[in-house]
Amino acid sequence: MWCYSLTRRRLLRGALGLTLALGGCAWDTPMSTVVPRSDVAREILHVYGIITWVALGIALLVGIALAWVIVRFRERPGAAALPTQIRGHSLLEIAWTIAPAIVLLVIAIPTIQVIFRTQAAPPRDALQVRVLGRQWWWEFRYPTLEVVTANELHVPAGQPVALTLDGPDVIHSFWVPMLGGKRDVVPGRLNRLIFTAETPGEYRGQCAEFCGVSHANMGMRVIVDAPDAFARWVAAQKAEPAEPAAGPAADGKAIFARSACVGCHTIRGVSSGVLGPDLTTFGSRRTLAAGLLPVTVDTVAAWLKNPTALKPDAKMPPLGLTDEQARAVATYLIGLK
């Protein structure tokens, strides 16, 4: 009875461990690497697939061979202490040199093919976007459209997008698993990532290279729009910001214009700072502080009052605003669409 309950406890513990381990590998998480939604992600998954099946096949062969050896050469009563020992078997040695070489070749050929395909020059109709990784947020510049945004990259479905990645401070890594592989953002070096998103939707991404205290808070979103929705987004981004209505929004604009905000942030027609995100269409964004919080008057006001409380080591200093002033600036910013 004691033995039975111990075995059952072990089984339960094993099942729990397996559940937890598999739970970490859910297929349908927002950052799943096995749910491709672009040509590049599909190519990468294809290589993953080959490697996984080859590795599983080898594991199976090795497992079967090992089981056979364990059973065949187990210690038997009355048998000799050691089975016949083999040394210097040329055929065996050649075989186990060639076999791994063949395995590597099977993996290398499709891998190199995909590397060359994904590094090819972008097609002529590709939408050009310059990606700047900064401590700890993302800037997206569309040179041909004259649009600048932060942390939320909009791209049209079905059109190739050519990202040029660069960074002014330290190394970051652009990673939106459902749309493509990681690409490092290295100061002084232009890396490229070209992909065609297939399905409209919102795709989560994350800086994938340790870049300082708030590395884990350096998220991003790629919003894949249907082509007409993308055209509307571009038009809205280029429109002149509307004058805020009298009341808290207008008060917020006045506070913004006379405070330290203007030293770091651009709002077209109001200020031209370049250290922080361009806020000209801040209200059109879904999230705040590199994907950390949803955009609401409360969260924006909390951010304005004390950025480092929400994002450790954030470069933006507390502005010394009262609650009322912070809410007024938040109302103004959210009204910028």
Instruction: Catalog residues that contact ligand CUA under the rule CB under 6 A.
Output: 133, 136, 172, 207, 209-211, 215, 218
Rounded CA gap, 49 and 55, in Å? 10
The minimum distance between CB 317 and ligand CUA, in angstroms, equals 20
Instruction: Assign 224 to helix, strand or coil.
Output: strand
The minimum distance between CB 114 and ligand CUA, in angstroms, equals 25
The minimum distance between CB 129 and ligand CUA, in angstroms, equals 18
Burial 42-56 (b: 16+ CB within 10 A, else e): ebbbebeeeeeeeee
Q: How many residues are recorded in the chain?
A: 337
The minimum distance between CB 175 and ligand CUA, in angstroms, equals 10
Nearer to ligand CUA, 211 or 267 (CB): 211
The minimum distance between CB 179 and ligand CUA, in angstroms, equals 18
Nearer to ligand CUA, 41 or 207 (CB): 207
**What sign does the dihedral 126-131-137-139 (CA atoms) show?**
negative
Residue from 271, 267, 263, 252 nearest 328 by CA: 252
Nearer to ligand CUA, 169 or 198 (CB): 169
The minimum distance between CB 216 and ligand CUA, in angstroms, equals 8
Cis before residue 138, ω within 30 degrees of 0? no
Nearer to ligand CUA, 217 or 237 (CB): 217
Rounded CA gap, 245 and 328, in Å? 12
Beta bridge partners of 166: 132
Beta bridge partners of 192: 164
The minimum distance between CB 276 and ligand CUA, in angstroms, equals 15
**What sign does the dihedral 246-252-253-258 (CA atoms) show?**
positive
Instruction: Assign 180 to helix, strand or coil.
Output: coil
Nearer to ligand CUA, 209 or 278 (CB): 209
Nearer to ligand CUA, 136 or 203 (CB): 136
Nearer to ligand CUA, 252 or 291 (CB): 291
Using CA atoms, how far residue 287 sits from 90, 140, 212, 283, in Å, is 64, 15, 21, 9
